[in-house]
Amino acid sequence: MTVSRLRAIWLASIFVAACAPALAATPAPAPRASGSPGPLVLPQPKMPNVPLHTEFTVEVNDKGQVVKVKSGVPSKVLRFNEWTYGNVLQMWIRHPDGTAEVGLYKVTYDYDPKTTKITRIPALVSAGGDWGNEEGAANQMIDLARKEAEEHQKAQAAQNASLPSLHQIRGEKTPTPSPSPSPPF
């Protein structure tokens, strides 16, 4: 391990040791009075008060993963279209026993403003297809993101290698390490 990692571990252990008694002595929260605010609730996106419907025709591989979206029918709300498109790309369509059937499927999304629920219904349009061995769309997106991250790291490393040292920026001589003192025995 490097010296900086050892220091970080040492500092973290000191922090944990210092905080442990304080955390152990913290009393349980008192029950809230009725009418007082409860736990923090994140705001929900504002959904329209009209029914929405989108549908997509997708290719599904032999694992049940959506390979690609062939076509789609959008709703009048762009954000709903984006949500449903992203969802259908990550979707798995399988039978209850876990098996999958290669084919072309129609997936519909219906939003009910009264219940604020979205219903997703996949239906087989035609069985078979030459995309049965292709990788799923979600896996393709993950692979692409991984490659882009690696390229970014390589570019960052190349850029950092070409930067001058702090001593060069300040106009100082680079210090040379001195030999460590020998033991007195």
pTM above 0.75, yes or no: no
Q: What is the pLDDT of residues 23-58, one digit of tens each?
A: 555 566 555 556 556 677 878 778 889 999 999 999
Exposure string over 150-174, b if 16+ CB within 10 A, otherwise e: eeeeeeeeeeeeeeeeeeeeeeeee
- 66-73 and 52-60 strand pairing: antiparallel
Residue written as token pair 């997106």:
141
Across the chain, what does the average pLDDT equal?
83
Partner residues linked to 106 by β-bridges: 57, 123
Dig out the tokens for 137 from the structure.
């769309």
CA distance 140 to 88: 14
Q: Residue 70: its pLDDT value, please? A: 95
Q: What is the pLDDT of residues 88-129, one digit of tens each?
A: 999 999 999 999 999 999 999 999 999 989 999 999 999 998
